[in-house]
Amino acid sequence: MRLDGGSTTPKLTTLERHCLRLLGEGRTKSEVAQSLGLDWEAAAKHMQAAFNKLGTQNPHHAVALALNFGLIEPDESDQ
């Protein structure tokens, strides 16, 4: 899967990847913020940055793209 026809994998920060991983576990955006010890606004900025880098505004699509790019690992409890 490619974003713009290129083969470049988006570069996500550690916090952006953590946000996507937690969203992928089914946590709400508020729960993501709490889990990371961030206020909601800070967490929202990291999530939005990840969505923008992945070219989507949909959290579920962002998680799917991150999994396809190998940026996050599937939740081991689901395997």
The backbone torsions φ and ψ at residue 39, rounded to the nearest 5 degrees and listed phi first, read -75, 165
Q: What is the pLDDT of residue 79?
A: 43
pLDDT at residue 1, as a whole number: 43
Structure token pair of residue 29: 């955006």
List, run by run, the mean pLDDT of 10-residue segments along the chain (79 residues).
63 97 96 97 97 96 96 72
Domains of the chain by start residue, with CATH:
14-71 (1.10.10.10)
The token pair at 15 is 């916090």
The answer to whether 20 and 44 are in contact (CB under 8 A) is: no
CA distance 20 to 34: 14
Query: Could you give the maximum distance between any two Cα atoms of the chain, in Å?
Result: 37
